[in-house]
Structure 1
């Protein structure tokens, strides 16, 4: 996560430090021309307050803050989006132009999402899911496609995971949840109608909830256990289709799967290897078969 993401999502700041954070974000590139004392004066805080603010962000001091802000500006300039995220192509565009524009949509969305995700939160999510007896995925609409793919990947390493499409079944899954269950809720906007019923039911049963969606979606649904943010540039209404939101959610789920596998590599790989004789394509299966019996060539 870049420095601006760390500042905007810092949860341990005092009111004075929050005031300082707002001034730093407001100054943006202009901060490079300020000294430590000038920043303190501009924000109406003390110099020690600036030092404490930097320490809470994991920085050595004011100089490193300026370096990180310059690096963030450089990265954002490289990933400046020249295309319309919601309508990346139009009448008359040739294949080469469409390829280039879609590459820009991918590049911008992946960069945004990486800068928004808190790595500590990602690690917490991976720990919860890795240790869960049962994982229930709650989502709807186009997010079901990526959710089912994530579900299949977890199954491939031996995790007990369910992803129901039917809203009534999702409610009953929530009602049947309890100790050992972990819920993964996916909603780009945070406005999915099902969340209004599902989240209180899961909380009441003490089920940890990992939420994947935009920062605004997270604010709409407070009090959950882990938040994994995704790029929020896509319009909720004025869009051709869900290119950016699909890319962002898929990216976070792929990374989350990788983090789960990294935590459970020995057990996960053993399950995967055990399943290969049963799940491989017929042409690729071991001639010995699952039972280990060699084919009889005497009658061939």
Structure 2
């Protein structure tokens, strides 16, 4: 089974947007918790062909209908258990994200991040949607070192920011998917003006990577994590914490600014 999701209902919903109209009908049958049928009986009952059901199984990452029914039966049984006991799965997801983040860690990339941040006083942070929350965290952390952080969280503001960039300006982009075409165009504009770019993403094939001085790779979400059980900005926040920790150790000469900011915050 390709998807490491042991709940068929979560698995179905995680693929819902990719279903055809026929596959939506098949999905609805299982989501409504109907009786277990053979593939021929199910095809007749919901007026679809057996090959359509097989394709539905493949789209979920399952090998065949037998595997689908096995997972369906397990998921039905799970529905009868105490649904309030969710702490362990959530904690396990956080641990898995941390483990995948550690596996993706590249020391030199983080050091390069820190050096560019240290060499630049005013830093732009571009992040759409949930990434803007990570931008606020980045601003809070590095403002304590005397950095001026400007967070841009919508495409219009990002495009305007790109048009006003100058040589030597530094932009940090947070985009897990790294596929936004408008963001890519903004980066291209910034490059023509001599700006430098850093990026945090989970997509090694992002076209934006080619325009960045350095890229730090965040952990990907599994199918069930992507449903919203885990706050979507967590992988980016983990990387920002790693960068911040390295920065504190690598650039101890700026520690006096940090101490001053701590004193101010305690007032």
TM category, shorter: 0.5 to 0.7
| Alignment partner, residue 211 of structure 1 | 199
Q: Secondary structure at the match of 1:262?
A: helix
Partner of 1:184: 172
**Contact 1:183 1:210 survives alignment (8 Å):** yes
Counting matched residue pairs gives 197
CA deviations over 1:40-80 (Å, ceiling 9, x no partner):
xxxxxxxxxxxxxxxxxxxxxxxxxxxxxxxxxxxxxxxxx
Match of 1:147 in 2: 135
Kindly state the Cα deviation for residue 196 of structure 1 after the two structures are TM-superposed: 2.5
2:124 aligned to which of 118, 121, 136: 136
Change over 3 Å in CA distance of 1:241–1:211 after alignment to 2: same
Partner of 1:240: 227
Partner of 2:102: 114
1:270 aligns with 2:264: no
Residue ranges of structure 2 left out of the alignment (5+ in a row): 12-74
Q: Secondary structure at the match of 1:222?
A: helix
RCO higher in 1 or 2 (8 Å CA, sep ≥ 6)? 2
1:217 Cα deviation after fit: 4.7
- How far apart, CA to CA, are the structure 2 residues paired with 1:238 and 1:263? 34
TM-score normalised per structure 2: 0.64
Relative to 1, partners in 2 of residues 1:145 and 1:83: Cα closer, same or farther, differing over 3 Å?
farther
> Any conservation in 1 of the 2:145–2:257 contact (CA below 8 Å)?
yes
Q: How far is the alpha carbon of 1:192 from its aligned partner?
A: 2.7
Shift, 1:112, TM fit: 0.8
Distance of 1:112 and 1:106 partners within structure 2: 10
CA drift at 1:117: 2.5
CA deviation digits over 1:185-230, x for unaligned, max 9?
A: 1110112343132110121122221111113453564242111111
Summarize deviations over 1:220-261 as a string: whole Å, max 9, x none: 6424211111122435x9942272742211110111111222
- Structure 1 stretches of 4+ with a deviation exceeding 3 A read 81-84, 86-95, 215-221, 275-279
Is the 1:231–1:245 contact (alpha carbons within 8 Å) kept by the matching residues of 2?
no
In the aligned structure 2, how far is the partner of 1:154 from the partner of 1:83?
41
